[in-house]
Amino acid sequence: MMRRWAGGGPRALRNAGRLGLLVMLCVWAGSPALAAPVSVTDFTGHRVRLDHPARRIVALTPHLVENLFSAGLGDRVVGAVRYSNYPPAAKNIPRVGGYNSLSLEAIVARKPDLVVAWAEGGSPDIIKRLRALGIAVYVDDPRRLAGIARTIRDLGVLGHTEGTADRAATAFEHRIAGLRKRYAHRRPVSLFWEVWSDPLRTLSDAGMTGAVIKLCGGRNVFGHAPILAPQVSIESVIARDPQAIVASGVAETKPHWKAYWQQWPTIPAVAHHHFVAVDPDLISRPTVRLADGAAELCRGLDRVRKDLKAR
C-alpha cells in the first residue's frame, strides 16, 4: 500500500513547486545577469546602453571608484587607476594605469562591460578607442555639487542598484543642504585658495571648489579668473587683501606652508593668522566625502568670521 506523503499529497507538491518557481523568478529579477537592459545619458550627452546591468566595471579616476562603492557596486569594480585609495578595499583593485598613462591593453584585459571615465581625466582617446571596441563608456563631468548625486544615481541605474545609490545620493544632498542653510548667508569672508606655492597657483570659481566656497559664505578673491587654476603673483594676492588663506594640497606636501606667508604681514589673513587647511582628498574629489571637506572649510571660515567680528 502506498504511503501518503507527509507534506500533504500531490496538491501540496504542486503548490510547493509554484512557490519555488516564484522565489526563483524573484531572485532572477534582482540578478544583474538576468535583469532587463539599462541605459542612461551621461554628462556629455552620450547615451550609455547595456544589455544587462554592469557586472565588470573599470574606473579611470579615483573619484569614480569611490562613487561606484557609494552606488553599491564596489564588488564589481575590476580595474582602477593609481591613487584609488578609498574606501580601503579600493587599494586591492588591479591597476590599469594612471591619470595620463592609461593602458588600453590593461583595461581591455579586465574584460569590462562598462568603463567609467572623467571628461577632464586625460582620456578622450582611450574613450574613443574603447567605444570603437564595443565597450560601453560612461563619462561624468560634475561641475556643480548636484552633479555628484547625479553620477551616483546614474551608476546605480547602470548596475541595477538604484536603491543603494539613491540613499547615498540623498544623504549627500541633505548634508550639503544643511551646510548651505547654516553658512551660506553669514558674513562673507574673502579668501585666497592656495593650490600650490611654487609657482603660486590658485583656483577660480569655475569648478566644484567655487561652489563649496560660496556654500560656506566665502568669497574667492580670484573667483572670476578666466581659467580654472591660474598662476598668480604674490603682488596680485596682496592687492586683493584676503581675510583668509586656504590651502588644500600644499598643506600636506609642505607642512611649513604658513611660514612662507609671514614675508607679507600686510595681508590681513597673515596679520591675523587666518589660515585654513583642508584635506585635498575631501575637497577636490567629487564624491560624497566632499560634504566632509565642505564642513571642514565652513568651520574654518566661521572661525575667521568670529575672530573678525570680535576685533
What are φ and ψ of residue 188, in 5° steps? -60, 145
pTM: 0.86
Of 196, 198, 220, 192, give the one whose Cα is nearest residue 208.
220
- Calculate mean pLDDT across residues 238-246: 98
Q: What pLDDT score does 33 carry?
A: 47
pLDDT at 100: 79
Count Cβ neighbours within 10 Å for each residue of 257-279 and write b for 16 or more, e otherwise: beebbeeeeebbbbeeebbbbbb
Handedness of CA 149, 154, 160, 162 (dihedral sign): positive
Domains of the chain as residue ranges with CATH? 38-174 (3.40.50.1980), 184-310 (3.40.50.1980)
Q: pLDDT digits over 19-61, tens only?
A: 554 444 444 444 544 579 999 999 999 999 999 999 999 999 9
- The pLDDT, as a whole number, for residue 12 is 46
Q: Which residues contact 145 (CB under 8 A, 6 or more apart)?
A: 176, 208, 211, 212, 215, 290
Q: What is the DSSP letter of 193?
A: E
